[in-house]
Amino acid sequence: MTLPIALLAAVAMLGLPAGSDAAQAPKGFFGVHPRSLASDDYPTMAGADVGLIRTGFVYSAVRPSESAAYDWSRYDAVVAGAAEQGIDVLPVLVGVPPWLSTEAGATPLDSSAAKAAWRDFLTAAVERYGPGGTFWDTYPGTPHPIEDWQTWNEPNSFNNWKRPNPRQYGKLLALSAKTIHAADPSANVISAGVISQPVNRKAMDGDVYLKKMLKSRKATRAADAIAIHPYTGKVRQVREQIELTRKVMDRAKLKRTPIWVTEIGWGQGRGGRNPLIVPAAEQRRNLRESFRMALEKRRKLRIARVVWYQWRDGLDEVCGWCNTSGLLREDGSAKPLLDEFAAIARR
């Protein structure tokens, strides 16, 4: 995609000093999370300097029944489209297929059969898409293997874990890291992104959850990066949540371990009671200011990646504000928000 002149002018208007952290994003620093992708999305992403596509690798999607062979076709398309543009992929490994459990919030730790199946799923994914993976044997272009793997999503929320349990998630993280590293010793294992301030009162605040999870030495050794989702109304609060996470990690002797912000975003609307729904101008300002803040603080707080949620508008039955958080409209046309993203991500 050819970027408009207005976008280039926006870069100049940022007023960032040459050579500062905020003046230039490291390669791959900013990414997006799409809920669906079309073939023409990948060049559009590359044109906006999207460096990372974060997407769910759902177990049941590749193996819906116990007797079925793995069907990776859905994710082959994503990995190929990203590789063609030189974009990294961060799979979110998640899910317990219905042939193992139909219980809402089921986890791979619920039975020995579920554990074994989870290990098999992870091994198959890494051996397919990692360095030297079977997918690259037939891929016609330059291989762009997956090096980073995220284990689960928002386990401090009732949507993804029936009863949030930091100790149990720490066990899953350790089990997953051991399995992934057995298949690719150089892989990076990213912990599940925890919601900093969950809306559900029965959920656990992100910092409290991490404190309890990181009491386990196995969990601290397993994580090559700690992920958070600092969803708050104001950019100042986003910074405070990242700073709080850094303090928790430092106390757990993870001073060198980076933070990945694997989801951040605001929806567009009139606002009201939900602080994550804001007018269009404020949505653009929040993206700009939160991204600039991440660049300015990236060395001090060891921020390694920032992912905007999401790529394209669309109905989300669980998350109301997510309907309008996309950089693109539902019909695929670009919002001014995409220009804001590209102006800061552009190297």
Comparing CA positions, the residue from 48, 55, 83 lying closest to residue 287 is 48
Specify the residue for token string 């057995």: 182
Per-residue pLDDT of 33-45, as tens digits, reads 999 999 999 999 9
Per the listing, tokens 């898409």 go with 129
Residue 312: name the closest of 40, 49, 58 by CA. 40
Q: State which H helix or E strand residue 150 sits in.
A: strand 148-151
Q: Two tokens at 186?
A: 């150089």
State pLDDT tens for residues 209-265.
Answer: 999 999 999 999 999 999 999 999 999 999 999 999 999 999 999 999 999 999 999
What is the distance, to the nearest Å, from the Cα of residue 167 to the centroid of all Cα atoms in its chain? 22
Handedness of CA 73, 338, 18, 289 (dihedral sign): negative
pLDDT in tens, 173-195: 999 999 999 999 999 999 999 99
| Rounded Cα–Cα distance for residues 323 and 310 (Å) | 9
The single-letter code of the amino acid at 185 is: P
Per-residue pLDDT, 144: 98
What pLDDT digit, counting tens, does each position of 287-342 carry? 999 999 999 999 999 999 999 999 999 988 788 899 999 999 999 999 999 999 99
CB of 196 closer than 8 Å to CB of 207: yes
Q: What are the structural domain ranges in the chain?
A: 5-345
**CATH ID of 5-345, from 3.40.50.80, 3.40.50.11390, 3.20.20.80, 3.30.360.10:** 3.20.20.80
Mean model confidence pLDDT for the chain:
92
pLDDT at residue number 273: 85
Residue % of the chain over a pLDDT of 70: 93
Q: How confident is the model at residue 152 (pLDDT cuts 50, 70, 90)?
A: very high
- DSSP-H helix ranges across the chain: 5-13, 41-47, 59-62, 73-85, 112-129, 135-138, 166-183, 206-213, 217-222, 235-251, 280-301, 336-345
Q: What is the pLDDT of residue 202?
A: 78
